[in-house]
Amino acid sequence: MEHQTAQREDFDFSLNERTAQIVMNDVMAIETDEDELKTESIEIPDLISPVLKPDFSLDGLRKLPEGRYRFIRSIGFGGMKTVTEVYDRDTGRNVAMASIPDAAERKHTHILHFVREAFLTAKLEHPNIVPVHDIGIDSTGVPYFTMKLLHGYTLARLIKKIRSGEPFFTQKYTEGRLLFIFMRICNAIGFAHSQKIIHLDLKPDNIYVGEFGEVLVIDWGLAKYFGEIDTEEKDDPADLEQSSDSFSKKIKTQSGVARGTPGYMSPEQAAGLNQNKDVRSDIYSLGAILYTMLTLRRPFPGMNVEQILHATVKGALIAPSQLDDLPRQIPAALEAIVMKAMHRNPDLRYQNVNELREDLFAYIGGYATTAESPGMLKKSAMFLLRNIYSVMFWVLLILLFGICVVMFWLFRSGVLEISLN
Protein backbone atom coordinates (compact mmCIF):
# COMPACT_ATOMS: atom_id res chain seq x y z
CA MET A 1 0.00 0.00 0.00
CA GLU A 2 2.90 2.28 0.86
CA HIS A 3 4.43 1.75 -2.56
CA GLN A 4 1.10 2.27 -4.31
CA THR A 5 0.71 5.62 -2.59
CA ALA A 6 4.18 6.73 -3.55
CA GLN A 7 3.56 5.70 -7.16
CA ARG A 8 1.16 8.64 -7.52
CA GLU A 9 4.22 10.72 -8.34
CA ASP A 10 5.69 8.16 -10.72
CA PHE A 11 7.55 10.22 -13.29
CA ASP A 12 11.19 9.85 -14.20
CA PHE A 13 13.72 12.62 -13.75
CA SER A 14 16.94 12.20 -15.67
CA LEU A 15 19.69 14.73 -16.20
CA ASN A 16 18.85 15.92 -19.68
CA GLU A 17 17.57 19.11 -21.28
CA ARG A 18 13.96 18.24 -20.49
CA THR A 19 14.77 17.80 -16.82
CA ALA A 20 16.67 21.06 -16.75
CA GLN A 21 13.73 22.88 -18.29
CA ILE A 22 11.24 21.34 -15.84
CA VAL A 23 13.39 22.24 -12.84
CA MET A 24 14.10 25.76 -14.05
CA ASN A 25 10.45 26.41 -14.84
CA ASP A 26 9.42 25.15 -11.41
CA VAL A 27 11.85 27.32 -9.46
CA MET A 28 10.41 30.58 -8.16
CA ALA A 29 12.95 33.24 -9.05
CA ILE A 30 13.90 35.17 -5.93
CA GLU A 31 16.01 38.12 -7.00
CA THR A 32 17.58 39.53 -3.87
CA ASP A 33 20.17 42.26 -3.77
CA GLU A 34 23.30 40.85 -2.16
CA ASP A 35 23.53 43.95 0.03
CA GLU A 36 20.20 43.01 1.57
CA LEU A 37 21.60 39.66 2.65
CA LYS A 38 24.32 41.09 4.85
CA THR A 39 23.87 40.51 8.57
CA GLU A 40 22.84 43.75 10.17
CA SER A 41 20.62 45.01 12.95
CA ILE A 42 17.11 45.58 11.70
CA GLU A 43 13.80 46.56 13.16
CA ILE A 44 11.86 43.40 14.02
CA PRO A 45 8.29 43.50 12.62
CA ASP A 46 5.50 44.39 15.06
CA LEU A 47 4.04 40.91 14.68
CA ILE A 48 7.16 39.36 16.20
CA SER A 49 8.59 42.04 18.47
CA PRO A 50 6.00 41.74 21.29
CA VAL A 51 6.88 38.06 21.66
CA LEU A 52 10.52 38.95 22.20
CA LYS A 53 9.77 41.15 25.21
CA PRO A 54 10.06 39.56 28.69
CA ASP A 55 6.78 41.17 29.80
CA PHE A 56 4.85 39.69 26.87
CA SER A 57 1.55 38.20 28.05
CA LEU A 58 -0.09 35.17 26.50
CA ASP A 59 -3.43 36.78 27.30
CA GLY A 60 -3.07 38.66 24.04
CA LEU A 61 -3.44 35.43 22.09
CA ARG A 62 -6.84 34.27 20.90
CA LYS A 63 -8.43 31.70 23.19
CA LEU A 64 -9.24 28.34 21.66
CA PRO A 65 -13.00 27.99 21.04
CA GLU A 66 -14.36 25.08 23.05
CA GLY A 67 -14.78 21.91 21.02
CA ARG A 68 -13.10 23.19 17.86
CA TYR A 69 -10.40 20.51 17.76
CA ARG A 70 -10.83 16.79 18.40
CA PHE A 71 -7.79 14.69 19.23
CA ILE A 72 -7.04 11.84 16.81
CA ARG A 73 -3.51 10.60 17.51
CA SER A 74 -0.03 11.57 18.65
CA ILE A 75 2.46 12.21 15.86
CA GLY A 76 5.67 12.85 17.77
CA PHE A 77 7.64 15.23 19.91
CA GLY A 78 10.87 17.16 19.71
CA GLY A 79 12.51 19.98 21.57
CA MET A 80 9.91 21.51 23.84
CA LYS A 81 6.81 20.68 21.81
CA THR A 82 4.61 17.72 21.02
CA VAL A 83 2.70 17.35 17.76
CA THR A 84 -0.67 15.65 17.47
CA GLU A 85 -3.16 15.08 14.69
CA VAL A 86 -6.50 16.75 15.40
CA TYR A 87 -9.75 17.24 13.52
CA ASP A 88 -10.70 20.88 12.94
CA ARG A 89 -14.49 21.10 13.15
CA ASP A 90 -14.53 24.63 11.70
CA THR A 91 -12.87 23.64 8.44
CA GLY A 92 -13.71 19.93 8.37
CA ARG A 93 -10.12 18.82 7.91
CA ASN A 94 -7.36 17.12 9.86
CA VAL A 95 -4.43 19.33 10.88
CA ALA A 96 -1.29 19.00 12.98
CA MET A 97 -1.30 20.76 16.36
CA ALA A 98 1.89 21.74 18.19
CA SER A 99 1.70 22.43 21.92
CA ILE A 100 3.81 22.40 25.09
CA PRO A 101 2.80 19.45 27.29
CA ASP A 102 4.64 20.59 30.43
CA ALA A 103 4.15 24.34 30.06
CA ALA A 104 3.76 24.87 33.82
CA GLU A 105 7.31 23.61 34.36
CA ARG A 106 8.83 25.69 31.57
CA LYS A 107 10.56 29.04 31.86
CA HIS A 108 8.62 31.99 30.50
CA THR A 109 11.32 32.52 27.87
CA HIS A 110 10.76 28.96 26.60
CA ILE A 111 7.06 29.68 26.18
CA LEU A 112 7.91 32.86 24.30
CA HIS A 113 10.23 30.96 21.95
CA PHE A 114 7.42 28.53 21.17
CA VAL A 115 4.95 31.30 20.37
CA ARG A 116 7.63 33.15 18.45
CA GLU A 117 8.24 30.10 16.25
CA ALA A 118 4.53 30.00 15.45
CA PHE A 119 4.37 33.67 14.40
CA LEU A 120 7.64 33.54 12.48
CA THR A 121 6.62 30.42 10.54
CA ALA A 122 3.22 31.95 9.80
CA LYS A 123 4.98 34.95 8.26
CA LEU A 124 6.85 32.72 5.77
CA GLU A 125 4.17 32.04 3.17
CA HIS A 126 5.86 29.92 0.53
CA PRO A 127 4.92 26.67 -1.26
CA ASN A 128 7.96 24.92 0.25
CA ILE A 129 7.49 26.07 3.86
CA VAL A 130 4.95 24.38 6.13
CA PRO A 131 1.92 26.70 6.49
CA VAL A 132 0.52 27.70 9.90
CA HIS A 133 -3.28 27.85 10.18
CA ASP A 134 -4.07 29.00 13.72
CA ILE A 135 -2.27 30.37 16.81
CA GLY A 136 -3.78 30.71 20.27
CA ILE A 137 -4.02 29.40 23.84
CA ASP A 138 -6.14 26.56 25.14
CA SER A 139 -8.50 26.56 28.14
CA THR A 140 -5.58 26.02 30.53
CA GLY A 141 -3.61 28.95 29.13
CA VAL A 142 -1.10 26.82 27.22
CA PRO A 143 -0.16 28.16 23.76
CA TYR A 144 -0.64 26.07 20.63
CA PHE A 145 -0.53 26.45 16.88
CA THR A 146 -1.90 24.33 14.06
CA MET A 147 -0.33 23.68 10.69
CA LYS A 148 -0.66 21.56 7.59
CA LEU A 149 -0.84 17.83 8.31
CA LEU A 150 2.01 16.24 6.39
CA HIS A 151 1.81 12.90 4.60
CA GLY A 152 4.96 11.26 3.37
CA TYR A 153 8.46 11.00 4.77
CA THR A 154 11.11 13.20 6.26
CA LEU A 155 14.10 13.42 3.96
CA ALA A 156 16.10 11.56 6.62
CA ARG A 157 13.72 8.60 6.50
CA LEU A 158 13.62 8.68 2.72
CA ILE A 159 17.41 8.55 2.54
CA LYS A 160 17.43 5.68 5.02
CA LYS A 161 15.06 3.71 2.78
CA ILE A 162 17.23 4.36 -0.26
CA ARG A 163 20.36 3.36 1.66
CA SER A 164 18.72 0.12 2.84
CA GLY A 165 18.33 -0.83 -0.82
CA GLU A 166 14.53 -1.01 -1.05
CA PRO A 167 14.06 -1.43 -4.82
CA PHE A 168 11.09 0.91 -5.15
CA PHE A 169 12.91 3.82 -3.54
CA THR A 170 16.27 3.21 -5.21
CA GLN A 171 14.57 3.16 -8.61
CA LYS A 172 12.28 6.12 -8.00
CA TYR A 173 14.67 8.52 -6.26
CA THR A 174 17.36 8.86 -8.88
CA GLU A 175 20.04 11.53 -8.73
CA GLY A 176 17.88 13.77 -10.89
CA ARG A 177 14.85 13.49 -8.63
CA LEU A 178 16.92 14.09 -5.49
CA LEU A 179 18.31 17.25 -7.09
CA PHE A 180 14.75 18.29 -7.89
CA ILE A 181 13.90 17.93 -4.18
CA PHE A 182 17.02 19.85 -3.18
CA MET A 183 16.13 22.71 -5.52
CA ARG A 184 12.82 23.12 -3.74
CA ILE A 185 14.59 23.24 -0.38
CA CYS A 186 16.76 26.01 -1.81
CA ASN A 187 13.61 27.83 -2.95
CA ALA A 188 12.26 27.87 0.60
CA ILE A 189 15.50 29.07 2.16
CA GLY A 190 16.05 31.66 -0.55
CA PHE A 191 12.61 33.08 0.21
CA ALA A 192 13.27 33.09 3.97
CA HIS A 193 16.52 34.98 3.40
CA SER A 194 14.66 37.52 1.27
CA GLN A 195 12.51 38.10 4.37
CA LYS A 196 15.72 38.56 6.43
CA ILE A 197 15.24 35.25 8.28
CA ILE A 198 17.82 32.48 8.68
CA HIS A 199 16.79 28.95 9.66
CA LEU A 200 19.93 27.75 11.52
CA ASP A 201 18.77 24.14 11.91
CA LEU A 202 18.55 22.76 8.39
CA LYS A 203 18.92 18.98 8.23
CA PRO A 204 17.16 16.02 6.56
CA ASP A 205 14.92 15.55 9.61
CA ASN A 206 13.51 19.04 9.04
CA ILE A 207 12.62 18.44 5.39
CA TYR A 208 9.36 16.71 4.51
CA VAL A 209 8.79 15.01 1.17
CA GLY A 210 5.09 14.47 0.52
CA GLU A 211 3.47 11.65 -1.39
CA PHE A 212 2.30 14.03 -4.14
CA GLY A 213 5.64 15.74 -4.70
CA GLU A 214 5.43 18.34 -1.92
CA VAL A 215 8.73 19.41 -0.38
CA LEU A 216 8.37 21.38 2.85
CA VAL A 217 10.92 22.88 5.24
CA ILE A 218 9.70 22.52 8.82
CA ASP A 219 10.80 23.35 12.39
CA TRP A 220 11.77 27.01 12.44
CA GLY A 221 12.37 26.97 16.20
CA LEU A 222 15.97 28.24 15.97
CA ALA A 223 15.31 30.75 13.18
CA LYS A 224 16.37 34.36 13.65
CA TYR A 225 16.10 37.69 11.93
CA PHE A 226 19.34 39.11 10.55
CA GLY A 227 21.29 40.71 13.38
CA GLU A 228 18.88 39.52 16.06
CA ILE A 229 20.48 38.74 19.42
CA ASP A 230 19.35 35.77 21.50
CA THR A 231 19.95 36.63 25.16
CA GLU A 232 20.12 32.93 26.04
CA GLU A 233 23.01 32.32 23.65
CA LYS A 234 26.35 33.32 25.05
CA ASP A 235 28.79 34.55 22.47
CA ASP A 236 31.67 32.49 23.83
CA PRO A 237 33.73 32.06 20.69
CA ALA A 238 36.07 29.14 20.21
CA ASP A 239 38.95 30.31 18.06
CA LEU A 240 38.88 28.37 14.80
CA GLU A 241 42.64 27.84 15.18
CA GLN A 242 42.57 26.75 18.83
CA SER A 243 44.07 23.52 20.07
CA SER A 244 42.17 20.25 20.22
CA ASP A 245 42.19 20.22 24.03
CA SER A 246 40.67 23.68 24.43
CA PHE A 247 38.01 22.91 21.84
CA SER A 248 37.08 19.64 23.58
CA LYS A 249 36.70 21.51 26.85
CA LYS A 250 34.39 23.98 25.20
CA ILE A 251 32.15 21.24 23.80
CA LYS A 252 31.75 19.72 27.24
CA THR A 253 30.29 23.02 28.46
CA GLN A 254 28.41 23.80 25.28
CA SER A 255 24.90 24.20 26.72
CA GLY A 256 23.75 27.74 26.10
CA VAL A 257 26.66 28.46 23.75
CA ALA A 258 25.73 26.94 20.40
CA ARG A 259 22.53 25.55 18.95
CA GLY A 260 22.01 23.33 15.97
CA THR A 261 22.64 19.77 14.83
CA PRO A 262 26.21 18.41 14.75
CA GLY A 263 27.21 17.54 11.21
CA TYR A 264 24.79 20.04 9.72
CA MET A 265 25.60 23.18 11.71
CA SER A 266 28.21 25.53 10.29
CA PRO A 267 31.71 25.95 11.77
CA GLU A 268 30.76 29.35 13.18
CA GLN A 269 27.80 27.77 14.97
CA ALA A 270 29.86 24.85 16.25
CA ALA A 271 32.55 27.23 17.51
CA GLY A 272 30.05 29.42 19.38
CA LEU A 273 30.62 32.43 17.11
CA ASN A 274 26.99 33.43 17.43
CA GLN A 275 27.53 36.98 16.19
CA ASN A 276 28.89 35.53 12.92
CA LYS A 277 25.78 33.57 11.96
CA ASP A 278 24.20 34.78 8.73
CA VAL A 279 22.80 33.42 5.46
CA ARG A 280 26.08 31.64 4.80
CA SER A 281 25.45 29.49 7.88
CA ASP A 282 22.34 28.18 6.12
CA ILE A 283 24.39 27.73 2.93
CA TYR A 284 26.71 25.40 4.84
CA SER A 285 23.73 23.39 6.10
CA LEU A 286 22.30 23.17 2.58
CA GLY A 287 25.65 21.81 1.43
CA ALA A 288 25.55 19.25 4.24
CA ILE A 289 22.06 18.16 3.16
CA LEU A 290 23.24 17.76 -0.44
CA TYR A 291 26.24 15.79 0.87
CA THR A 292 23.84 13.40 2.60
CA MET A 293 21.58 13.11 -0.44
CA LEU A 294 24.53 12.16 -2.66
CA THR A 295 26.33 9.80 -0.26
CA LEU A 296 23.30 8.55 1.72
CA ARG A 297 25.14 9.27 4.95
CA ARG A 298 25.69 12.30 7.15
CA PRO A 299 28.83 14.40 6.90
CA PHE A 300 31.65 13.26 9.20
CA PRO A 301 30.50 9.61 9.35
CA GLY A 302 31.73 7.35 12.14
CA MET A 303 32.37 10.18 14.61
CA ASN A 304 30.77 11.00 17.96
CA VAL A 305 29.28 14.42 18.68
CA GLU A 306 32.47 15.93 20.08
CA GLN A 307 34.53 14.65 17.15
CA ILE A 308 31.98 15.94 14.64
CA LEU A 309 32.01 19.43 16.14
CA HIS A 310 35.79 19.45 16.30
CA ALA A 311 36.06 18.33 12.66
CA THR A 312 33.47 20.94 11.65
CA VAL A 313 35.43 23.78 13.23
CA LYS A 314 38.70 22.52 11.73
CA GLY A 315 37.14 22.06 8.29
CA ALA A 316 38.18 18.40 8.23
CA LEU A 317 35.44 17.31 5.85
CA ILE A 318 35.97 14.13 3.84
CA ALA A 319 35.11 14.69 0.18
CA PRO A 320 32.12 12.56 -0.90
CA SER A 321 34.13 10.67 -3.52
CA GLN A 322 36.63 9.56 -0.85
CA LEU A 323 34.01 7.59 1.09
CA ASP A 324 33.72 3.83 0.79
CA ASP A 325 30.64 1.94 -0.39
CA LEU A 326 29.07 4.87 -2.24
CA PRO A 327 25.65 4.07 -3.76
CA ARG A 328 26.70 5.55 -7.09
CA GLN A 329 29.55 7.49 -8.61
CA ILE A 330 29.35 11.16 -7.63
CA PRO A 331 30.02 13.61 -10.49
CA ALA A 332 33.00 15.86 -9.88
CA ALA A 333 30.85 18.96 -10.47
CA LEU A 334 28.39 18.02 -7.72
CA GLU A 335 31.22 17.25 -5.33
CA ALA A 336 32.73 20.66 -6.07
CA ILE A 337 29.37 22.31 -5.31
CA VAL A 338 29.11 20.47 -1.98
CA MET A 339 32.67 21.30 -0.94
CA LYS A 340 32.24 24.98 -1.81
CA ALA A 341 28.95 25.24 0.12
CA MET A 342 30.58 23.54 3.13
CA HIS A 343 33.81 25.52 3.09
CA ARG A 344 35.16 26.30 6.55
CA ASN A 345 35.54 29.98 5.67
CA PRO A 346 32.14 31.69 5.12
CA ASP A 347 33.74 34.12 2.65
CA LEU A 348 34.68 31.20 0.38
CA ARG A 349 31.21 29.61 0.38
CA TYR A 350 28.37 30.61 -1.90
CA GLN A 351 27.35 34.02 -0.57
CA ASN A 352 23.62 33.47 -1.08
CA VAL A 353 21.19 30.78 -2.19
CA ASN A 354 20.93 32.20 -5.71
CA GLU A 355 24.62 31.50 -6.32
CA LEU A 356 24.19 27.90 -5.15
CA ARG A 357 21.15 27.40 -7.35
CA GLU A 358 22.87 28.89 -10.39
CA ASP A 359 25.65 26.34 -10.07
CA LEU A 360 23.08 23.55 -9.78
CA PHE A 361 21.31 24.89 -12.87
CA ALA A 362 24.66 24.91 -14.67
CA TYR A 363 25.31 21.29 -13.73
CA ILE A 364 21.84 20.12 -14.72
CA GLY A 365 22.07 21.99 -18.01
CA GLY A 366 25.47 20.53 -18.81
CA TYR A 367 27.51 23.69 -18.17
CA ALA A 368 30.66 24.06 -16.08
CA THR A 369 30.06 25.29 -12.50
CA THR A 370 31.86 28.12 -10.74
CA ALA A 371 32.79 25.67 -7.98
CA GLU A 372 35.03 23.82 -10.44
CA SER A 373 36.93 26.98 -11.47
CA PRO A 374 36.75 25.78 -15.07
CA GLY A 375 39.32 26.72 -17.71
CA MET A 376 38.75 27.06 -21.45
CA LEU A 377 39.45 23.35 -22.02
CA LYS A 378 36.78 22.35 -19.51
CA LYS A 379 34.26 24.82 -20.92
CA SER A 380 34.95 23.61 -24.46
CA ALA A 381 34.48 19.98 -23.44
CA MET A 382 31.19 20.83 -21.70
CA PHE A 383 30.05 22.70 -24.82
CA LEU A 384 30.75 19.65 -26.98
CA LEU A 385 28.87 17.37 -24.59
CA ARG A 386 25.88 19.71 -24.45
CA ASN A 387 25.71 19.93 -28.22
CA ILE A 388 26.93 16.48 -29.19
CA TYR A 389 24.27 15.89 -31.87
CA SER A 390 24.74 19.31 -33.43
CA VAL A 391 28.50 18.85 -33.41
CA MET A 392 28.18 15.41 -35.03
CA PHE A 393 25.86 16.83 -37.69
CA TRP A 394 28.26 19.62 -38.61
CA VAL A 395 31.26 17.28 -38.57
CA LEU A 396 29.50 14.91 -40.97
CA LEU A 397 28.37 17.82 -43.13
CA ILE A 398 31.91 19.20 -43.35
CA LEU A 399 33.24 15.70 -44.03
CA LEU A 400 30.78 15.18 -46.89
CA PHE A 401 31.58 18.62 -48.25
CA GLY A 402 35.27 17.77 -48.14
CA ILE A 403 34.70 14.48 -49.98
CA CYS A 404 32.72 16.29 -52.67
CA VAL A 405 35.46 18.90 -53.09
CA VAL A 406 38.14 16.22 -53.41
CA MET A 407 36.11 14.24 -55.95
CA PHE A 408 35.45 17.41 -57.97
CA TRP A 409 39.15 18.23 -57.98
CA LEU A 410 40.02 14.69 -59.07
CA PHE A 411 37.53 14.87 -61.95
CA ARG A 412 38.91 18.23 -63.03
CA SER A 413 42.45 16.94 -62.96
CA GLY A 414 41.51 13.81 -64.90
CA VAL A 415 42.92 11.49 -62.23
CA LEU A 416 39.58 9.93 -61.37
CA GLU A 417 38.59 9.55 -65.08
CA ILE A 418 41.84 7.68 -65.86
CA SER A 419 41.30 5.48 -62.83
CA LEU A 420 37.78 4.61 -63.97
CA ASN A 421 38.96 3.75 -67.48
Fold of 49-147: Phosphorylase Kinase; domain 1 (3.30.200)
Mean pLDDT for the stretch of residues 276-286: 95
pLDDT of residue 6: 42
Q: Percentage of residues in the chain with pLDDT exceeding 90?
A: 46
Q: Which residues of 347-379 are buried (b: 16+ CB within 10 A; e: fewer)?
A: eebbbbbbbbbebbbbbbbbbbbebbebeeeee
Higher-pLDDT residue of 231 and 319 is 319
Show the DSSP H helices in 318-413 as ranges.
332-341, 353-365, 376-386, 388-413
Q: To the nearest whole number, what is the mean pLDDT of the chain?
A: 79
pTM: predicted TM-score of the whole model, two decimal places = 0.76
Convert the pLDDT of each residue in 203-246 to its tens digit. 999 999 998 889 999 999 999 998 886 655 555 544 444 433 33
Active site residue 205: no
pLDDT band at 86 (very low <50, low <70, confident <90, very high): very high
Whether residue 416 has pLDDT greater than 80: no
pLDDT of residue 256: 41
Whether residue 3 has pLDDT greater than 90: no
**DSSP string covering 203-270, please?**
-GGGEEEETTS-EEE---TT-EETT---TTS---PPPTT--HHHHHHHHHT-TTT--S-TTTS-HHHH
Convert the pLDDT of each residue in 113-151 to its tens digit. 899 899 999 999 999 999 999 999 888 888 999 999 999
215 C-beta neighbours (distance < 10 Å), count: 21
Given the residues 201, 219, 278, 359, the one annotated as active site: 201
Whether residue 13 has pLDDT greater than 80: no
Convert the pLDDT of each residue in 344-368 to its tens digit. 999 999 999 999 999 999 998 888 8
Mean pLDDT for the stretch of residues 158-185: 93
pLDDT of residue 258: 65
Whether residue 92 has pLDDT greater than 60: yes
Convert the pLDDT of each residue in 42-76 to its tens digit. 444 554 555 555 556 676 788 888 889 999 999 98
**Candidates 3.30.10.20, 3.40.1640.10, 3.10.20.740, 1.10.510.10; CATH matching 2-30+151-377:** 1.10.510.10
